[in-house]
């Protein structure tokens, strides 16, 4: 792989790993505070899965950079907000249950269109990781889809809360598909899919569900900010997440 | 036959079954007091798992490595699972999970006082795993032999998972006690705060434990509070000393004659204050549970409404 391809794949892997890590972190905040005991268990499970996926992608990234696997901890605990590449949607605070479930649904659907194409990647490690993640995503998709239905079609209040969550999240969700410099070469090498048709597939799938629940996607402009741009919530999240590790950077925790 | 002699006969048969080592199952005849005691113990245990999610959950967002974060989420998830499992065990005695949860939220039900202490540093997560779960395992290993089938079976399963919890906690403390000065200081501070509350987890001394005698006769408990506390002490004292930690009890000594470690006096006045709701975190724990419940009300309503429509 030439240097240009390597650096573009690096950026793609980092974006995906950061997405999973930040979502895992947000989901884990529900543990002990969910609306019912079964969902304490479910969200803890989701968080562990997403954390596992993040670790998989970070490990491939570390291999690509010729660094040992332990470097994943360095990336997570000693990197400042400006260097993170997760989509803004994922760093927003957990909000209410509707907010969390809708975000999970939008992200699960993103993975649901992305992963099958990644399993065919010419980069073997990426293809294998995608296959592994896809197996777990079946359950995530089932869980978040069921919740969008229940809340979207439950009571007037649950519908109102879902609509509010959608109004806030819809413009940000597009950022998941924002093209990155050098994408064309990765697509040509069969390493990463073209995100534009995936975005259309995603929109079609998501729109069907929204229609079923009588939820209306706002007409507001899609956010195509670079993934280098963040809300103020990311720095706060990182300050908390990295606080113990940074107490004693030399220590083995 | 009069009703009184009927009950006397049933009670005699019930006690004979327990003496033979048989398990009592949900449909079987049992004295009202046995049922009440079991509901009290199982609900207290279930609530302890639920409230017990909070002190450790407090550090989920701050776990200092990907591995620690994963293990901690899994551990707190196990506790939710144990709570769920124990609520089911209590339901076999004719009380609903809803009634049990309402009693907890209203502040009427007890849970282990150990969860009314705050987690103030990361070493607390290891200390809870090693000492708190370690103490719980001592109690639960005993309860795995108890006479009520569903509780006994729940304990077998829960003990297996708790053993992992204890092992990961101990691994952390052993590492940190021999780590950087910062880690060592954090670990000693943690032991200083948790040591006495952990010893109190086994309950009052046998001489002050009003429920113990009948519970032992009915095979609900099979060992006394002091016996189990002694087992724990003899196990952990040498291990804590071996890694260079100072146990915060100036009167702690090894008694060569009995071959047991002897602790100094426990501050029972403090213990009862915490039991009565005046510990450092009682109000906050209850408020947090109530907040989660209240915030979830519209969600549960939506679930019901959706289910009714389908």
Per-residue pLDDT band for B3 (boundaries 50, 70, 90) equals confident
Q: Please, which residues 196-255 of chain B have a Cβ atom closer than 8 Å to chain A?
A: none
H or E, element range at A253: none
Task: Report yes or no on B16 lying in a domain.
Answer: no
Distances (CA, A) of A224 to A14, A41, A88, A187, A221: 18, 35, 11, 20, 9
Give the number of other Cβ atoms within 10 Å of residue A106's Cβ: 24
Which residue in the set B68, B77, B296 is minimally distant from A36, CB to CB?
A: B296
The DSSP string of B97-141 is HHHHHHHHHTT-S---GGGGS---STHHHHHIIIIIHHHHHHHHH
Contact at CB, B54 and A32, closer than 8 angstroms? yes
Here the tokens at position B31 are: 């004295």
Task: Report yes or no on A253 lying in a domain.
Answer: no
Dist. CA A192–CA A127, nearest whole Å: 10
Provide CB contacts within 8 A for B220, sequence distance 6+.
B34, B37, B38, B41, B146, B147, B148
Evaluate whether B13 touches B187 at the Cβ level (below 8 Å): no
Q: What is the pLDDT of residue B214?
A: 82
* Residues linked to residue B282 through DSSP beta bridges, in sequence order: none
Per-residue pLDDT band for B194 (boundaries 50, 70, 90) equals very high
Evaluate whether A54 touches A42 at the Cβ level (below 8 Å): no
Task: Report yes or no on A209 lying in a domain.
Answer: yes
Q: Name the one residue in this structure whose structure tokens are 């002490």.
A: B233
Q: Please, which residues 33-92 of chain B have a Cβ atom closer than 8 Å to chain A?
A: 50, 53-54, 57, 59-66, 68-70, 73-74, 76-77, 80-81, 83-84, 87
Task: Report yes or no on B181 lying in a domain.
Answer: yes
Q: What is the pLDDT of residue A225?
A: 86
Dist. CA A167–CA A57, nearest whole Å: 31
| Residue B230, SS3 per DSSP | helix
Task: Report yes or no on B88 lying in a domain.
Answer: yes
Evaluate whether A212 touches A149 at the Cβ level (below 8 Å): yes
Interface probe for A, chosen from B102, B298, B300, B304 (most Cβ of A below 10 Å), is B298
Q: Please, which residues 195-214 of chain A have a Cβ atom closer than 8 Å to chain B?
A: none
Q: Count how many domains chain B has.
A: 1
Chain A residues in contact with B168 (beta carbon < 8 A): none
Which residue in the set B57, B62, B70 is minimally distant from A243, CB to CB?
A: B62
∠ CA A41-A51-A85, rounded to 5°: 135
Q: Which of B54, B73, B97 is nearest to B289 (CA)?
A: B54
Please tell me which residue, A222 or B33, carries the higher pLDDT value: B33
| Whether pLDDT at B166 is above 70 | yes
| Whether pLDDT at A69 is above 70 | no
Per-residue pLDDT band for A223 (boundaries 50, 70, 90) equals confident
**Residues B63-110: tens digit of each pLDDT:** 999 999 999 999 999 999 999 999 999 999 999 999 999 999 999 999
Contact at CB, A154 and B305, closer than 8 angstroms? yes
| Whether pLDDT at A228 is above 60 | yes
Task: Report yes or no on B5 lying in a domain.
Answer: no
| Whether pLDDT at A147 is above 90 | yes
Contact at CB, A34 and B292, closer than 8 angstroms? yes
Give the number of other Cβ atoms within 10 Å of residue B108's Cβ: 8
**Residues A21-67: tens digit of each pLDDT:** 999 999 999 999 999 999 999 999 999 999 999 999 999 999 999 98
The DSSP string of B64-88 is SSHHHHHHHHHHHHHHHHHHHHHHH
Provide, rounded to the nearest whole percent, the portion of chain B with pLDDT above 70: 99
Q: Does A99 touch chain B (CB under 8 A)?
A: no
CATH number of the structural domain spanning residue A224? 1.20.1260.10
Dist. CA A15–CA A192, nearest whole Å: 13
Convert A210-229 to b/e letters by CB count within 10 Å (16 or more is b): beebebebeeeeebeeebee
A221: phi > 0 → left, psi -120 to 50 → alpha, else beta; which? beta
**Residues B107-157: tens digit of each pLDDT:** 999 999 999 999 999 999 999 999 999 999 999 998 999 999 999 999 999
Distances (CA, A) of B27 to B40, B240, B273, B304: 19, 46, 39, 31
Q: What is the pLDDT of residue B221?
A: 84
Dist. CA B61–CA A237, nearest whole Å: 9
Measured distance between the N- and C-terminal CA atoms of chain B, rounded to whole angstroms: 54
| Whether pLDDT at B170 is above 70 | yes
Q: What is the ipTM of this complex?
A: 0.96
The DSSP string of A174-236 is GGGG---TTHHHHHHTTSS--HHHHHHHHHHHHHHHHHHTT-----SPP----TT---HHHHH
Which residues form the domain of A145? 3-247
Q: Which of B149, B28, B46 is nearest to B99 (CA)?
A: B46
Q: Which of B32, B35, B111, B37 is nearest to B79 (CA)?
A: B111
Interface probe for B, chosen from A40, A50, A100, A162 (most Cβ of B below 10 Å), is A40
Dist. CA B285–CA B308, nearest whole Å: 34
Dist. CA B214–CA B173, nearest whole Å: 38
What is this structure's pTM? 0.96
Q: Does A239 touch chain B (CB under 8 A)?
A: no
Task: Report yes or no on B13 lying in a domain.
Answer: no
CATH number of the structural domain spanning residue B125? 1.20.1260.10
Q: What is the pLDDT of residue B220?
A: 87
Contact at CB, B64 and A37, closer than 8 angstroms? no
Q: Name the one residue in this structure whose structure tokens are 């009290």.
A: B40
Which residues form the domain of B292? 22-309
Q: Does A71 touch chain B (CB under 8 A)?
A: no
For residue B247, the 8-state DSSP code is P
Q: What is the mean pLDDT of residues B50-65?
A: 97
Q: Count how many domains chain A has.
A: 1
| Residue B24, SS3 per DSSP | strand
| Whether pLDDT at B210 is above 90 | no
Provide CB contacts within 8 A for A128, sequence distance 6+.
none
Interface probe for A, chosen from B51, B55, B67, B80 (most Cβ of A below 10 Å), is B80
Provide, rounded to the nearest whole percent, the portion of chain B with pLDDT above 90: 91
Q: Please, which residues 134-193 of chain A have a Cβ atom closer than 8 Å to chain B?
A: 149-151, 153-155, 157-158, 161
Dist. CA B277–CA B272, nearest whole Å: 9
């Amino acid at each position: 792989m030439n240097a240009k391809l390597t650096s573009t794949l690096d950026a793609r892997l980092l974006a995906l790993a950061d997405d999973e890590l930040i979502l895992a972190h947000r989901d884990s905040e529900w543990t002990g505070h969910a609306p019912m005991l079964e969902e304490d268990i479910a969200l803890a499970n989701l968080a562990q899965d997403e954390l596992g996926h993040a670790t998989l992608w970070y490990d491939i990234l570390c291999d690509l950079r010729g660094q040992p696997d332990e470097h994943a901890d360095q990336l997570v605990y000693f990197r400042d907000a400006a260097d993170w590449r997760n989509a803004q949607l994922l760093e927003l605070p957990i909000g209410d249950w509707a907010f969390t479930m809708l975000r999970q649904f939008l992200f699960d659907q993103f993975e649901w269109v992305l992963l099958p194409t990644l399993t065919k990647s010419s980069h073997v490690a990426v293809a294998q990781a995608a296959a592994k993640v896809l197996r777990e995503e079946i359950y995530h998709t089932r869980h978040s889809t069921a919740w969008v239905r229940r809340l979207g079609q439950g009571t007037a209040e649950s519908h109102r809360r879902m609509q509010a969550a959608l109004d806030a999240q819809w413009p940000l969700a597009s950022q998941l598909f924002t093209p990155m410099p050098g994408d064309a070469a990765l697509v040509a090498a069969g390493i990463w899919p073209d995100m534009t048709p995936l975005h259309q597939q995603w929109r079609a799938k998501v729109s069907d569900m929204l229609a079923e629940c009588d939820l209306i996607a706002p007409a507001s402009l899609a956010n195509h900010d670079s993934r280098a741009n963040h809300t103020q919530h990311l720095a706060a999240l990182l300050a908390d997440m990295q606080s113990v590790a940074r107490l004693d950077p030399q220590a083995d925790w | 036959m009069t009703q009184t002699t009927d009950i006397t006969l049933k009670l005699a048969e019930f006690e004979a079954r327990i003496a033979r080592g048989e398990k009592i199952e949900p449909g079987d005849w049992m004295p009202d007091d046995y049922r009440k005691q079991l509901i009290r113990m199982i609900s207290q245990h279930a609530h302890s798992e639920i409230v017990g999610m909070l002190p450790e959950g407090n550090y989920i967002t701050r776990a200092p490595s990907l591995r620690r974060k994963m293990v901690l989420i899994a551990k707190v998830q196990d506790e939710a699972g144990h709570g769920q499992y124990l609520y089911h065990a209590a339901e076999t005695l004719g009380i609903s999970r809803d009634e049990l949860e309402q009693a907890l939220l209203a502040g009427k039900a007890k849970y282990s006082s150990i969860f009314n202490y705050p987690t103030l540093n990361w070493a607390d997560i290891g200390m809870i795993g090693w000492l708190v779960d370690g103490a719980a395992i001592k109690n639960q290993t005993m309860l795995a032999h108890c006479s009520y089938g569903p509780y006994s079976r729940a304990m077998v399963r829960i003990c297996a998972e708790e053993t992992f919890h204890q092992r990961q906690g101990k691994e952390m403390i052993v590492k940190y006690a021999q780590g950087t000065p910062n880690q060592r200081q954090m670990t000693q501070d943690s032991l200083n705060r948790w040591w006495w509350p952990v010893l109190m987890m086994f309950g009052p001394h046998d001489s002050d434990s009003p429920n113990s005698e009948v519970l032992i006769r009915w095979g609900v408990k099979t060992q006394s509070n002091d016996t189990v506390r002694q087992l724990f002490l003899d196990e952990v004292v040498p291990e804590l000393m071996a890694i260079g930690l100072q146990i915060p009890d100036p009167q702690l000594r090894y008694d060569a004659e009995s071959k047991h470690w002897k602790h100094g006096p426990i501050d029972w006045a403090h213990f009862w204050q915490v039991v009565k709701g005046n510990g450092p975190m009682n109000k906050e724990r209850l408020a947090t549970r109530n907040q989660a419940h209240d915030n979830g009300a519209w969600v549960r309503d939506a679930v019901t409404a959706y289910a009714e429509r389908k």
